[in-house]
Chains A and B, each alone.
Chain A
Amino acid sequence: KNEVEQSPQNLTAQEGEFITINCSYSVGISALHWLQQHPGGGIVSLFMLSSGKKKHGRLIATINIQEKHSSLHITASHPRDSAVYICAPVQGAQKLVFGQGTRLTINP
């Protein structure tokens, strides 16, 4: 069993839809990153959170440390949101453990 499980693995939606990507992990963590990776490889850190909720524009990330679960939400989705979204818990002081990613495609 992977230490980090994301669902769904692939998601296709229409522009404007509300998107939820889920992440469950089995390791003890100090924080969790949500990352965005576009074709070509570049990774952008969207959030790092250790409790509660964070919001940035149309993106919202939540985490429940006790349940070992985090979610990333996108409101009013847009085709430019199409990317791979990766959940990466921080194990110990330094090690990011990456999920396999969720490939999101938003159609106009």
Chain B
Amino acid sequence: ETGVTQSPTHLIKTRGQQVTLRCSSQSGHNTVSWYQQALGQGPQFIFQYYREEENGRGNFPPRFSGLQFPNYSSELNVNALELDDSALYLCASSFDRVYEQYFGPGTRLTVT
């Protein structure tokens, strides 16, 4: 059984660019949640996908969007990057919406 994986590990982008981050769920999990963790802060909930549908969203603007694929892997897309988007982006998968979440190692995004 493989764990949750994320790619890339690190990424540097410039302001105004677009970025796509990827997450592969743990085997058998149908729910993926995305979180943003700014330096020195606790993670903030971005959104959750359950069976390919968005199932809840935190206080993030529409330029943060996502997808979940039939194999339950997921993407986080951020358009028009801003300096404040620099953070560690974490995804977590779970067997179902209310079950324990298993976290990936994160993607560290730096926006210059």
Contact = CB atoms under 8 A, between A and B. Distances in A.
Nearest to B41: A100
A21 interface: no
Interface residues of A, number: 25
Interface in B94-110: 97-103, 105-106, 108
A25 B45 CA distance: 16
Nearest to B88: A41
B33 interface: yes
Interface residues of B, number: 27
Interface in A62-108: 86, 88, 90, 92-101
A96 B98 contact: no
Given A94-B33, A94-B56, A45 B101 contact: yes
Contacts, number: 65
Nearest to A91: B45
A4 to B, nearest CB: 8
Contacts of A52: none
B56 A35 contact: no
18 contacts: A33-B100, A35-B103, A40-B105, A41-B105, A43-B43, A45-B102, A48-B100, A88-B43, A93-B56, A94-B31, A94-B56, A95-B56, A96-B45, A96-B101, A97-B45, A98-B43, A98-B45, A100-B41
Interface of A: 4, 30-31, 33, 35, 40-45, 48, 86, 88, 90, 92-101
Given A43-B92, A93-B98, A94-B98, 8 more contacts: A30-B98, A31-B98, A41-B108, A96-B33, A96-B43, A97-B45, A98-B35, A98-B42
